[in-house]
Amino acid sequence: MIANAQSDTPRAFRGRCIVEILGQEKGSRVNMRSAPGSDSEIVGYVLVGQRVAQLYYSISGYSPIVRQSDSEGVNWDYVEYLPSQTRGWIASRLIDQRCSSTKSPF
């Protein structure tokens, strides 16, 4: 599912979908950004292999993933790292799109 959203996304809510951060080297750093795009401010980071909660917003009872493309056509997902409650944008290609809804994901 792809949905467009404003970069500030005040209506975003956490769903039950927990996804793993992907990369070539486990433990390497993946930046979370303030807005979709690699030139946006870094607000935090997660490590490859860690998990984040995908954020959603509601449109008439339908809840799509908050996803937006940047000016280069790269898709970004709005996520939350639960231990620190840090919210930010991560490039979709770095997020495993298979949902894991474990009760204790962290």
Interval 9-48: pLDDT, tens: 457 878 788 999 999 899 999 999 999 999 999 999 999 9
Q: Which residue has the higher pLDDT, 103 or 72?
A: 72
Contact yes or no for 16/79 (Cβ under 8 A): no
**pTM attached to this predicted model:** 0.80
Residue 68 near residue 76 (C-beta atoms within 8 A): yes
Does residue 1 carry a pLDDT above 50? no
| Nearby residues of 10 by Cβ (< 8 Å), 6 or more positions away | none
CA distance 32 to 76: 10
Residue 72 one-letter amino acid: E
